[in-house]
Amino acid sequence: MCTIHKQSKTGTTKADIHNQEHERWSRRSFLQALGLAGGGSMLLGNANITASTPSKLTQAISEADSDRILVLVRLKGGNDGLNTIIPIYDFDTYANYRPTLHYKKNEIYKLSDDFGIPPAMKELQGLWGEGGMKVVHGVGYEGQDLSHFKSSNIWASTDLKEEEDSGFLGRYYEGLHPDFLLNPPEVPAAIQIGSIGNLIFDGRGVSNYALTVSNPEELERIGESGARHSLTDLPDCTYGERLAYLRSVTNNTFTYAKTISDAYNTANNSVEFSDNGIGRQLAIVSRMIKGNLGTKVYMVSVDGFDTHANQAETHTELWEEVSKNIKLFFEDLKTVNRDKEVLAMSISEFGRRAEENGSNGTDHGQAAPILFFGPALEENGFVGQHPDLNDLDPVGNLKFKTDFREVYASVLKEWLCIDNGAVDEALLDSTLAPQDLGLSCKQVNDDSGTITDILEGSNNKRSRVEIVVQNNNTVLILTQVETSQVDISLYSLTGSYVANVKNGILSEGEHKFNLITDVSSNFLNQDVYIYRVVSGSKSFSGKIMLQ
């Protein structure tokens, strides 16, 4: 059933805009679930999992310090920073902004004389005391427009101009596995659990397809048989073609079913996580790490941080669950001595307004802290400058002090030990000064040399492919960096050869191919295919919808 929203005579209200934001967000999630816009998904242990698309940060991640793992904890909706890291040093101003939402001084768990955490986060006191927690103050970016959709995309793409429809990790992975769809790596470079509405792992030319199963045992069966749904005995009509497409997506486009299932079933949790939400997600991540899956980046998600009303109860419940399960996560990893190999990092699209609203909540704001967790930090502390509560922007927001991209750069360069050039390119060639998080890269103790030696040449130029629609036809544009033998072919979603577009010598420069008129067959339907381009010794593949 569809609902039509009409604008009132008095114009669109703030509530209308907010609702439209969430509808737009949901549409992207729906497209991703169909495999039309990013990550391929499955359910593992009753939690939604998405394996990342490949991009230009991946070879470095795979070849860098082989033991290090990053877990991104996404707080969806915009986490309230002032009630997460409480500014004790300016308590009166904080309390005046929030007559019903502020914490009393005797309720606050002190991290230092200047800052504390609310009772809901008390489980993290142990991590802090053991040197396993750090806080980066006032993180954000210039030009925040307080839109969930736009800000989530900017945090994922690192593009403040919103011209990119790919994520910084997605672009990085693209360079490592350019032929991902037809020749994927042995293990997923990154895994996303709990949310598919974020483009952080989306590449420019490749997006994964959706595969959903109900439990690990079914996932293992799919890994062994390679299929879940029959592609035979389908109706000979448009409906049958659409059904065949959706079943093909489910059956064939998720590569790692058995690999993930093997790792998951190899290990067990030694602590009792919460049985849903972030607890279930972190329990799965812990089992895959303990089962030696080999994936370097994970993202878990917690919804509900859009606290416009009744924030006191909601925010408390959310942080109780996050804090409890973060603590359990590292306790579980410690049982197999893997805890020092893992760094967890919170992200959220924005903070909240300094002043509470009339609904016992807070509205969309700007700056908020990023929290880091894990014994690898080796000492607790605060990084950067906390926003001045007496110097707000014109609408009452805390002004950001640290560019979020600087934090990304620090983690990529100093934790995952990725070559500086590869990081700068993945962050859209923005040369950012890393924040001092106290992290450092280790030398590789073998004949391969240092990390930099391993990654030499990772920034070499390569041919690129762009897909556009011109005059209602789908056109593939290949830009060659040098003259070479080129083969361009189309495949079905099952990996079967369909047609050849070009096979011959192409010179340096731009070449356009109409995928309807230039193919060596006349039976292509309006459908989704995989294209593969082999240029010299390089090959890359992507997904394409023929118009």
CATH number at residue 45: 3.40.720
**Same structural domain for residues 273 and 378?**
yes
Give per-residue pLDDT as tens, 126-137: 999 999 999 999
The number of folded domains in the chain is 3
**Same domain assignment for residues 234 and 120:** no
What phi and psi values does residue 441 have, to the nearest 5 degrees?
-90, 145
CATH number of the CATH domain containing 468: 2.60.40.3080
What local confidence, expressed as pLDDT, does residue 226 receive?
Answer: 46
348 and 423 in a single domain? The answer is: yes
Record the pTM.
0.72
* pLDDT over 90 at 111, yes or no: yes
Per the CB < 8 A criterion, the answer to whether 193 and 298 are in contact is yes
The H or E element spanning position 218 is helix 216-225
Hey, is 417 helix, strand or coil? coil
Q: Which of 434, 454, 474 is the last residue in one of the domains?
A: 454
Answer yes or no: do 389 and 517 share one domain.
Answer: no
Task: Clarify whether residues 272 and 363 are in a common domain.
Answer: yes
CA distances from 277 to 36, 290, 424 (A): 26, 20, 34
Whether 10 maps to a domain, the answer reads: no
Classify residue 296: in a domain, yes or no: yes
Q: How confident is the model at residue 63 (pLDDT cuts 50, 70, 90)?
A: low
449-478, pLDDT tens digit by residue? 322 222 222 334 556 777 777 777 788 888
19 in a structural domain: no
What span, in angstroms and rounded, lies between the C-alpha atoms of 510 and 479? 4
* Residues with Cβ within 8 Å of residue 416, at least 6 apart in sequence: 60, 61, 64, 65, 68, 70, 296, 297
Asked, for residue 13, whether it belongs to a domain, the answer is no
25 assigned to some structural domain: no
CA dihedral (389, 390, 392, 396) positive or negative: positive
Binned at pLDDT 50, 70 and 90, residue 43 comes out as low
**Would you say 33 and 254 are in contact if contact means Cβ atoms under 8 Å apart?**
no
Report the mean per-residue pLDDT for the chain.
75
385 & 425 share domain? yes
Query: What pLDDT, on the 0 to 100 scale, is given for residue 9?
Result: 42
17 inside domain? no
Same domain, 165 and 42: yes
Are 514 and 449 part of one and the same domain?
no
| Residue where one domain finishes, among candidates 398, 421, 454 | 454
Same structural domain, 474 and 437: no
Domain boundary pick from 225, 252, 279: 252
pLDDT at position 202 is 52
The alpha carbon of residue 171 and the mean position of all alpha carbons in its chain are separated, in whole angstroms, by 12
Q: Are residues 145 and 228 in the same domain?
A: no
Residue 229 lies in domain: 216-252
Residue 436, domain member (yes or no): yes
Low-confidence winner among 51-65, 223-237, 353-367 (lowest mean pLDDT): 51-65
pLDDT at residue 460, rounded to an integer: 43
Is 327 part of a structural domain of the chain?
A: yes
Same domain? For 104 and 224 the reply is no
57 with 81, same domain: the answer is yes
